[in-house]
Amino acid sequence: MNAFAATFYPTYLRSTGVGWALGVGRIGAIVGPYIGGLMIAAKWSNQQLFLAAAVPAAISAITLMILTRVVGDRVKAN
């Protein structure tokens, strides 16, 4: 994702964009296990836990596919 962020942002915004991407990822790395612990404490089943984890992963995959097409089209135009 870091390499993709570096190619996605224009040169004058690259360091800010990559910094924000890293910051959002770090927030997710902190909050994710906390939320998982709350779900386990609420007695969620394993299937419910995996389905809850699959939703953000699916959204990320779809977003990444869309962004790669946008960046690919931008590269082709140049």
pLDDT score of 77 more than 70: no
pLDDT for the residue numbered 26: 93
The pTM of this model reads 0.66
Q: What mean pLDDT is predicted for residues 40-52?
A: 96
Distance CA 32, CA 28 (A): 5
Residue 48 binned pLDDT confidence (cut-offs 50, 70, 90): very high
Rg for the chain (alpha carbons), in Å?
16
Q: If you write DSSP's letter for every residue of 10-67 in order, what string do you get?
A: -GGGHHHHHHHHHHHHHHHHHHHHHHHHHHHHTT--HHHHHHHHHHHHHHHHHHHHHH
Question: Regarding predicted confidence, which is higher, 34 or 60?
Answer: 34
